[in-house]
């Protein structure tokens, strides 16, 4: 029995090493402004016609220099928030402004999604985040990651970073303004039933692929959708994104702050903004 267990563990470690080796390194030069410019009309059609998206207060983002954008994440593996925000950011500031997004390793490995690297999507890791910000670029992170993006639909109006505070340390270390962005509507693109944490643990996916969840949802065209690995056809939910005022973490909380307090206040601000967006919403999907 213990031999079998050991065999399973070794297989798991081997799989994890193989997967890690396949994750493309963060090459910021892969971002291609001309490619992004060519894609903007398609993104505009999708965002304007399908998602009827609206992005407010982009003028709150500092016009120059490095900025850390911190967002809540919704919509499962077919997250419309990033698409809508990338369009809005690139249109407002121009494709010339260097803008990167951190994504889960599996997103970059998914078939057909390699093109995301041309948009500036790179693998989520502390070293990549530091590299982007130290090159005076703008970085978008979703601290909640896979945990938040697969939350049940009943929690769709909840900011849930699962206690992850790395973004605050990143802003402190790099001395960059932190700008929260709050979106609503993404979690109405399917009926998300459960994160399936128990299933991920049972299948050891947390060790194999850094996956702490194995979401279960009702989504088009699959019906019951376990894992969302092949994505799904998102419902045309109205997406609204609000950019909040920049926060100077060092000025606000000191050189060596208690991250717990900063985390509570920043996520609290975001939750307030999300509550306000939810109050404006009359019906799910329709908006």
- Judged by CB under 8 A, the number of residues near another protein is 25
CB-based contacts of 254, cutoff 8 Å, min separation 6: none
CB-based contacts of 110, cutoff 8 Å, min separation 6: 77, 229
Give min distance, CB of 244 to another protein, in A: 17
The SS3 of residue 120 is coil
Q: Find the binding residues for another protein in span 53-92 (CB under 8 A).
A: 53-55, 58-59, 84, 87-88, 91-92
Cβ atoms within 10 A of the Cβ of 179, count?
A: 22
Give min distance, CB of 96 to another protein, in A: 7
Among residues 16, 23, 40, 106, the one that binds another protein under rule CB under 8 A: 40
Beta strands in 25-113 (DSSP E): 54-56, 67-71, 99-103
Give min distance, CB of 88 to another protein, in A: 6
CB-based contacts of 108, cutoff 8 Å, min separation 6: 23, 24, 114, 116, 117, 121, 122, 123
The span from the CA of 137 to the CA of 99, in Å, is 6
Instruction: For another protein, give the closer residue by CB, 54 or 207.
Output: 54
Checking phi first, is residue 177 left (phi over 0); if not, alpha (psi -120 to 50) or beta?
beta
Give min distance, CB of 33 to another protein, in A: 11
Among residues 6, 10, 14, 41, the one that binds another protein under rule CB under 8 A: 41
Choose the stretch contacting another protein; rule: CB under 8 A; options: 7-15, 36-44, 117-125, 163-171: 36-44
The span from the CA of 157 to the CA of 74, in Å, is 10
Give min distance, CB of 69 to another protein, in A: 16
The SS3 of residue 253 is helix
C-alpha 233, offset from chain centre = 18
Give min distance, CB of 280 to another protein, in A: 17
Instruction: For another protein, give the closer residue by CB, 75 or 215.
Output: 75
Residue 285 lies near another protein (rule: CB under 8 A): no
Choose the stretch contacting another protein; rule: CB under 8 A; options: 44-52, 68-76, 213-221, 223-231: 44-52
Among residues 26, 31, 39, 209, the one that binds another protein under rule CB under 8 A: 39
End-to-end Cα, the chain, rounded Å: 55
Q: Which residues bind another protein (CB under 8 A)?
A: 37-42, 44-45, 47-49, 51-55, 58-59, 84, 87-88, 91-92, 94, 96
């Amino acid at each position: 029995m213990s031999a079998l267990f050991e065999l399973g563990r070794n297989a798991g470690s081997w799989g994890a090493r193989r997967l890690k080796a396949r994750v493309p390194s963060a090459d910021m030069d892969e971002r291609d402004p001309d490619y992004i410019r060519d894609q903007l009309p398609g993104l505009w059609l999708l965002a304007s016609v399908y998602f009827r998206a609206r992005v407010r207060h982009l003028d709150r983002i500092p016009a120059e220099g490095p900025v850390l954008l911190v967002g809540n994440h919704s919509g499962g593996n077919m997250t419309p928030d990033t698409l809508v925000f990338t369009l809005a950011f690139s249109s407002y500031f121009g494709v010339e402004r260097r803008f990167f997004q951190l994504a889960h390793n599996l997103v970059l490995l998914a078939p057909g999604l390699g093109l995301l690297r041309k948009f500036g999507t790179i693998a989520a890791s502390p070293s990549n985040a530091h590299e982007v910000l130290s090159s005076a670029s703008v970085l978008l992170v979703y601290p909640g990651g896979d945990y938040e993006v697969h939350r049940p639909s009943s929690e769709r109006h909840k900011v849930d970073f699962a206690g992850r505070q790395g973004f605050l340390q990143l802003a402190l270390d790099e001395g960059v303004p932190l700008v929260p962005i709050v979106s609503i509507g993404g979690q109405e693109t399917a009926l998300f039933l459960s994160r399936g944490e128990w299933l991920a643990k049972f299948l050891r996916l947390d060790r194999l692929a850094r996956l702490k969840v194995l979401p279960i949802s009702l989504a088009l065209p699959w019906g019951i959708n376990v894992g969302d690995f092949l994505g799904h056809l998102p419902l045309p939910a109205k997406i609204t994104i609000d950019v909040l005022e920049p926060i100077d973490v060092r000025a606000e909380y000191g050189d060596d702050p208690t991250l717990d307090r900063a985390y509570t206040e920043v996520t609290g601000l975001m939750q307030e903004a999300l509550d306000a967006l939810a109050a404006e919403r009359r019906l799910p999907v329709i908006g």
